[in-house]
């Protein structure tokens, strides 16, 4: 059984351009209708109508490209995940548009909103410190309910208690925005209030 990751991205690149771009990454090989890298196979296609509608409804952008990363469950996870992130970062560098990377269609791992990149820690087994090192700054760690996360430099990231996370998620769904945007807006208001009484 394979594990699947999907990158949906707004891009003006054509399929051949994406294949050419990714085939220049070390250890990536172009095959007849897919790319192969250690631990992972990459299928590149235009986003279909169903994908476009889903992403538009839930993430408020319309993807043009869909990359399906299929990982053999017996493959070395470190190699497979590193190659997944290398491919994703290569494509994100070519566009200032929106993108989303998910695992099995239900767990968001990474999201790009305009110029802002968010790393989602809800999938705690995925984002190891060596993978975070492959993501060029700036990026923000999205809030998580599962664990405290640090990178190799020892930076500490904030996490939410389950009841707080549930409350904020409900508001984010209602407002059709991300947890990050809700929490940042609240904190900015709190900072302004504190500054006003100094």
C-beta separation of 101 from 110 below 8 A: yes
Tell me the per-residue pLDDT of 53-107, one tens digit each, with 9 for 90 and over: 999 888 889 999 999 999 988 888 999 999 999 999 999 998 778 999 999 887 8
For residue 155, tell me if it sits in a domain.
Answer: no
Whether residues 128 and 167 fall in one domain: no
- In a shared domain, residues 117 and 169: no
Question: Do 127 and 183 sit in the same domain of this protein?
Answer: no
State pLDDT tens for residues 166-195. 788 788 888 888 777 888 888 888 888 888
pLDDT for 42 equals 97
State pLDDT tens for residues 101-149: 999 887 889 999 888 888 887 655 788 889 999 999 888 877 544 444 4
Torsion of CA 154, 188, 115, 68, to 10 degrees: 70
If asked whether residues 73 and 126 sit together in one domain, one would say yes
Q: Are residues 98 and 53 in the same domain?
A: yes
Give the other-Cβ count within 10 Å of 23's Cβ: 14
Quick check: 22 pLDDT over 90? yes
- Domain of 25? 2-145
Task: Look up the pTM and report it.
Answer: 0.71
Do residue 82 and residue 107 come from a single domain? yes
pLDDT of res. 157 = 57
Looking at the structure, tell me whether residues 136 and 170 fall in a common domain: no
Provide the domain count of the chain.
2
pLDDT at position 152: 54
- Do residues 132 and 109 make contact, with C-beta atoms less than 8 angstroms apart? no
Q: Round to whole Å and give the CA distance between 129 and 76.
A: 16
Give Cα separations from 178 to 8, 110, 119, 126, 174 (angstroms): 17, 12, 12, 20, 10
Among residues of the chain, what percentage have pLDDT more than 70?
87
**Position with higher pLDDT, 141 vs 3:** 3
Query: Same structural domain for residues 118 and 197?
Result: no
Closest CA to 3 of 164, 123, 178: 123
């Amino acid at each position: 059984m394979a594990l699947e990751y999907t990158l949906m991205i707004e891009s003006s690149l054509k399929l051949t351009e994406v294949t050419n771009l990714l085939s220049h990454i070390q250890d990536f090989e172009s095959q007849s209708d897919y790319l192969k890298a250690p631990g992972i196979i990459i299928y590149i296609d235009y986003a279909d109508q169903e994908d476009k509608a889903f992403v538009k409804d839930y993430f408020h952008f319309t993807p043009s490209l869909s990359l399906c990363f299929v990982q053999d469950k017996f493959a070395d996870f470190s190699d497979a995940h590193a190659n997944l992130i290398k491919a994703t970062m290569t494509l994100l560098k070519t566009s200032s548009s929106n993108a989303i990377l998910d695992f099995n269609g239900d767990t968001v791992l990474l999201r790009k909103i305009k110029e802002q990149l968010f790393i989602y820690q809800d999938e705690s087994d995925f984002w190891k410190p060596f993978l975070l090192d492959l993501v060029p700054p700036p990026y923000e760690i999205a809030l998580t309910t599962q664990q405290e996360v640090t990178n190799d430099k020892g930076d500490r990231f904030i996490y939410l208690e389950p009841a707080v996370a549930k409350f904020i998620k409900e508001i984010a769904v209602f407002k059709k925005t991300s947890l990050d945007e809700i929490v940042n807006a609240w904190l900015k208001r709190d900072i302004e209030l504190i500054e006003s009484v100094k």
